[in-house]
Homo-oligomer: A and B are copies of this chain.
Amino acid sequence: MPRDTLTREQIVKTAIDLLDDEGLEGLNMRALGKRLGSAATAVYWHVGSKDNLITLAGDEVWQQIALPDLATTDWRTAATQMATDLHAMLTRHSWLVQAFGSYMIFGPGKARHDDHGLAIYEAAGFTGAQADQAAATVFTFILGNALVPAAAASFTKKLGRDGGNAEALMHESMAKAHEIAAQFPRLRARLDTAVADYATAPDNTFQFGLQAILDGLEAQLIAFGH
């Protein structure tokens, strides 16, 4: 058999593609092996375990995020830009949000990102623990915001894998949720408009929340005398 047909980078890259296509539950070593054109078990020599592979893939995509230049950008613009980039990345790789709940994903890529995030809030005027907290607030908001779409994507893919008519099952599931929501006055009142709003501009809620949070952080800065 040919030698040196696999490299760790190639495996991680292919795993990311597979994860993007099939979701976190769709990644298994045999499918990955098939995509790589090699035996499933060959992967183990390069990455050790599936857990480790996911950790590597998770950290890799963090490198895709651009870091704004703080010398030429005011902190709020930089914060918005970095947050929006992260949001886009998590939307592109929705499996990462799920993986975040089950694996400890921390490597050079995320460290680089975290460090720059901290720099932004230090530039804004936060010091010590407060800079941490400000950065964590924005970060966790983005993470949580990405979780619900990630679940939806995962659910859709699962229906697709189970064969059969995913269409009908999805419709049934939506109908059930609709029925439950209809029993609560405020949810019922917003049911149709909420779906329509989300369909036309899914990122509205994200931008609304992000700007509210940044407003709040600015208020904290002023309160602490800046």
Contact = CB atoms under 8 A, between A and B. Distances in A.
A199 interface: no
This protein's copies in its complex = 2
A197 B104 contact: no
A184 B111 contact: yes
B142 A173 contact: no
| A interface, size bucket | 35 or more
A30 interface: no
A205 B121 CA distance: 14
Residue of A115, A173, A187, A190 most packed against chain B (CB within 10 A): A115
Contacts of A215: 215-216, 219-220
A175 interface: no
Majority DSSP secondary structure for residues of A touching B: helix
Interface of A: 24-25, 97-98, 100-108, 111-112, 114-115, 118-119, 122, 128-134, 136-137, 139-145, 147-148, 150-152, 154-155, 173, 177, 180-181, 183-187, 190, 193-194, 197, 204-205, 208-209, 211-217, 219-220
Closest 9 CB pairs between A and B?
A144-B144, A216-B216, A137-B209, A140-B144, A143-B144, A212-B216, A115-B184, A98-B101, A215-B216
